[in-house]
Amino acid sequence: MATTIRRAAVLGAGLMGSQIAALLASCGLEVLLLDIVPDSLTPEEQRRGLTLSDPRVRSRLATQAVERLRRMKPPPLFTAEAADRITPGNLEDDLPRLREADWVLEAVVEDLGVKQDLWRRVAPHVQPGTVLSSNTSGLSIAAQAEALPAELRPHFLGTHFFNPPRYLKLLEVIPTPDTDPEVVSFVRSFATRVLGKGVVIARDTPNFIANRIGTYGLAVTLRAMARFGLGVDEVDAITGPAMGRPKSATFRTLDLVGLDVFAHVARNTRARVADPAERDALELPPYIEEMLRRGWTGDKAGQGFFKKVKGASGESE
């Protein structure tokens, strides 16, 4: 079992994976940041005569994520130099490098099948004793563990960071019945001492603690808005400054988190909870479904409830 963590690998270089990589690198860790291999060339890559087999193309998503980290406001990196500790790569060519990692953390799309498939592919490449964790917003940790061989399960658990991970202190740590209690206390202590997090140990229930409450609150607000005929700005004003939150209120929070992630969390809770009142409250209004159909998933798409200025992904303005 690891006694400290010097090298981490973050799988998924999207909104959360890239910012978690930034946090870890800012705390002195060497970080390998991997994402999927693109299946088409950008116009710029075509102009430069690159092909799909070029390593620069194959690792493009993670490379661009590191560039984005340097530009984001508020900054996810404590110093600009921390970005140099992040090595971009891809999930096809670089899996053998996971052998060097003390901690492998996944932050790929919120889809159980995708995450299980990823763990199956990762398992042959990690050393016994490597901490393995998922940043899922609320999918079952135990169900992900099923994709791992029995000898790796004692080192697998949920580590749920909140967006933006540099600024939000909470970290939910979610063990499964198979997780070694020593691994839980090691992760808790490392996250507290080195990453500066406030750790809460959560049970492996649908969406754990904060999202279970938060998603319910957002869903109830969306219903109240329709009932009282309020607009987006009015709801943000009431649920923002009026409640002591500077600006990240209902719709700005939804844009920041991503409507796709919110919808996944709401559906996942709805499918797994017994209380009919909670299930009713979590039914998504038709306009959210329509926004999802249009790809208006929030800041990361440049369009959610608010338009987003290109290149500033992760800002709440």
Return the number of the residue (121 or 188) whose C-beta is nearest ligand NAI.
121
Q: How far is the CB of 51 from ligand NAI (least distance, A)?
A: 20
Q: How far is the CB of 182 from ligand NAI (least distance, A)?
A: 25
Is 109 one of the binding residues for ligand NAI (CB under 6 A)?
yes
Is 14 one of the binding residues for ligand NAI (CB under 6 A)?
yes
Is 13 one of the binding residues for ligand NAI (CB under 6 A)?
yes
Q: How far is the CB of 253 from ligand NAI (least distance, A)?
A: 9
Is 94 one of the binding residues for ligand NAI (CB under 6 A)?
no
Answer for which of 33, 191, 202, 261 binds ligand NAI (CB under 6 A) is: 261
Is 35 one of the binding residues for ligand NAI (CB under 6 A)?
yes
SS in 3 state form for the chain? CCCCCCEEEEECCCHHHHHHHHHHHHCCCEEEEEECCCCCCCHHHHHCCCCCCCHHHHCHHHHHHHHHHHHCCCCCCCCHHHHHHEEEEECCCCHHHHHHCCEEEECCCCCHHHHHHHHHHHHHHCCCCCEEEECCCCCCHHHHHCCCCHHHHHHEEEEEECCCCCCCCEEEEEECCCCCHHHHHHHHHHHHHCCCCEEEECCCCCCCCHHHHHHHHHHHHHHHHHHHCCCHHHHHHHHCHHHCCCCCCHHHHHHHHCHHHHHHHHHHHHHHCCCHHHHHHCCCCHHHHHHHHCCCCEHHHCECCCECCCCCCCCCC
Is 300 one of the binding residues for ligand NAI (CB under 6 A)?
yes
Is 257 one of the binding residues for ligand NAI (CB under 6 A)?
yes
**Contacts of ligand NAI in 129-168 (CB under 6 A):** 135-137, 161-163
Contacts with ligand NAI by CB under 6 A lie at: 12-17, 35-36, 61, 91, 107-110, 114, 118, 135-137, 161-163, 257-258, 261, 300
